[in-house]
Amino acid sequence: MVGGSSPPPGAIILLVTLPKARTKGVMSLEEAIYVRRSRRSWKKDVKIPLRHVAQILWAAQGITNWEEGFRAAPSAGATYPIELYVVVKKGEVEGLDRGVYHYDPYKHCLVKTLDMDVTYELMEASLGQYWVGTAPVNLVIAAEYARTTRFYGDRGYRYVHMEVGHVGQNVYLQAEALGLGTVAIGAFYDNEVRKILGLSRNLAPLYIMPIGYPEKR
């Protein structure tokens, strides 16, 4: 295994063990593809179960083969440049307080890196897109290009962008299968998002995916 998960910046405030991911669900893959849409409005006062957050994170970057370290999304040369951060509003996820969390796929847990709600700041950095500000949860997908480019040179940038697309589609389909919804956002100020989340300079934010129960399906 070449790639690995970087430790989150700053001191560890809290570690949250996540519920075990399921490998069988009630919605078929075909149905999830058929009903998938970009969702931008969310039901209010409906908490998201922690198990659903865990399932989406597993679908994005969870370990699917422990002997080889393979993950749920393909990666060029198994270099795994992707890092996941979760921005949570207070009282919106059962068993998870407000703050910013980093996903550790090897331990299938969340490490709290910021003990504050930065949803509004994230919305402002996303050109004021209100579906970011109103979502209970925002998944930020970042990448460390060097993990891939050190093996593939400049071609590695393309491979990383392909990979974030794979991850994004997994999140879309898993959200639909859980009755949730999301939308992939690429319009934001990179440096502002990096600053808000306290990301290291070697991490580039590539996607923001607000997640919630959609008002309409």
In the chain, where the domains are located? 14-212
pLDDT value of residue 145: 98
Going by C-alpha positions, the residue among 143, 174, 154 that lies closest to residue 75 is 143
Quote the pTM value.
0.94
The residue among 56, 45, 68, 46 whose CA lies nearest residue 18 is 56
Query: In whole angstroms, what is the distance from residue 168 CA to residue 180 CA?
Result: 14
Question: For the domain bounded by 14-212, which CATH number is listed?
Answer: 3.40.109.10
Count of alpha carbons within 13 angstroms of residue 50, beta-carbon side = 15
Q: Using 50, 70 and 90 to split pLDDT, how confident is the model at 5?
A: low
Measured distance CA(98)–CA(15) in Å, rounded: 13
Mean pLDDT of 78-93: 98
Contacts of 143 by beta carbon, 8 Å cutoff, 6+ apart: 81, 82, 83, 160, 163, 164, 203, 204, 206
The predicted pLDDT at position 120 comes to 98
